[in-house]
Chains A and B, each alone.
Chain A
Amino acid sequence: MLPSFNYKKQESRLFGKVLRPLIELEAYSEVTNDWVVLENVLADTGADISMLPRIMGEALIGDIMQGKKAQVKGIVPRARMNVYVHTLKFRLNSKRFNLPVAITDSDEVPIVLGRVKGLDIFNANFKKGKVLQL
């Protein structure tokens, strides 16, 4: 049985309500030495790499600055954000995978499941803006 997630209805200033492909994943926390469920993870085919806000990175691995320093960019011209890339253990149902994650220098970013070693290892099927099957 493939896991599927109903899109979640959220508030939007422009649309009033908007449906988003927000899923649940489990991540292994080196801080508590057990698995923690991450809710509202944005499944994002526009993201090369997966991303976590700093506050969540610190809750999962402690010192985020031990990772490989890099910069990411998005749609804003010339704007870049410092990140620390780590490989974290994730699981979805019974499937375990090691995921490269850019932990940002900011708390003001969404949790993103991007393509590389993330969405790309699943047969992701976005169904008419209502359901995501992985």
Chain B
Amino acid sequence: MAKTYSYVVLVGGKIVYRGKNLKKMLKEARKKYPGKQISIRCEYPEEILVAIIQL
């Protein structure tokens, strides 16, 4: 479990990129894996998650 929020890009269920520049990783994945389904996964830190959002 990550200590902070982290993001990975997956193709076919396998992690192909991990890092902070998600936009660049997504573009590169699309270029490298044309026609494949791309997923983005946010990995949450080990903490209590309370999300009450008021706008």
Report, as a range, how many residues of chain B touch the other chain. 20 to 34
Collect the chain A residues with CB atoms within 8 Å of residue B7's CB.
55-56
CB-nearest residue of chain B to A8: B44
Within 8 A of B (CB), among A67-117: 70, 72-75, 83, 85, 102, 107-112, 114
Chain B residues with CB under 8 Å of chain A are 1, 4-5, 7, 10, 20, 22-23, 25-27, 30, 37-44, 46-55
Give 19 pairs: A residue, B residue, CB < 8 Å, sorted on A.
Answer: A12-B46, A12-B47, A12-B48, A13-B46, A20-B49, A32-B38, A36-B26, A36-B39, A37-B39, A39-B10, A56-B40, A58-B23, A74-B52, A75-B50, A108-B4, A108-B5, A110-B5, A110-B51, A112-B53
